[in-house]
Amino acid sequence: MRTSALQSSAKDQLSLYVFVFVLFVVGVVFGALMVNALTLGQQQDLSGDVQQFILHIENGTLQPGSESFAGRAWFQAKWLLLVWVLGLTVVGMPFVLALDFLKGVLVGFAIGMLVRQFAWKGLLFSLASVAPVNLIAVPAFLIASVAAVTFGMHVVKSRFIGRFGTLGRPLLTFTATAAVMLVFVLGAALVESYLTPILLKWAVPLVSGVEGGLESF
């Protein structure tokens, strides 16, 4: 009986992970397609910003550690903190899922803008600029989101469906998961502050001197 319950719980967790991951991927696709919805003026403004960023790298302005670790750590951690706070309430569950989608939109938009401007070279450039930090931060964020939704479901079962029981252990599990994921997002901030600038210096020759085109994908 206990084994059956554990198998059911594991299956539910797997389904949640698949759902959250798919939601994130849909957000990435939506964010990439959003680039096409920009007006010509907005595209030109963003193109200018990207070119200015590349010039900073070429001029040596962007050095390892020049991006404040504290600032990047807080930027990453507040996403996780928001997930934890929203996960404490049942009404917060839809907002946690909305954050998963939004995170995907932001990542997809950044990659889409680079690809639109530099074609396949933009995709390679995104591997140095967008990918390293998100390879750590996004999984941590999604795992925390699943933990938040799982805790919310415990609250529903405990308070609304009549399966009364203590919420102490589920809350401790949720909080412990969020705390572990915080360590990972702090690691992502370290990567963004110290490793990403080095990778960008290697990658910038790919797009340096390339005309910022506004062609469609």
User: pLDDT band for position 87 (50/70/90)?
Assistant: very high
Contacts of 184 (CB under 8 A, 6+ apart): 136, 137, 139, 140
Q: What is the pTM of this model?
A: 0.84
DSSP one-letter code for 211: -
User: pLDDT band for position 22 (50/70/90)?
Assistant: very high
Domains in the chain: boundaries? 2-207
Q: How far is CA 185 from CA 149, 188, 216, in A?
A: 19, 5, 34
Structure tokens belonging to residue 117: 């401007």
Pair 12, 151: CB distance under 8 Å = no
Q: With 0-12 CB in 10 A as exposed, 13-18 as middle and 19+ as buried, what is 147?
A: buried
| CA-CA-CA-CA torsion sign (133, 139, 140, 142) | positive
Cα(15)–Cα(33) distance, integer angstroms: 27
Contacts of 98 (CB under 8 A, 6+ apart): none
**What are the pLDDT digits (tens) for 147-204?**
999 998 888 877 765 555 677 888 999 999 999 999 999 999 999 888 888 888 888 8
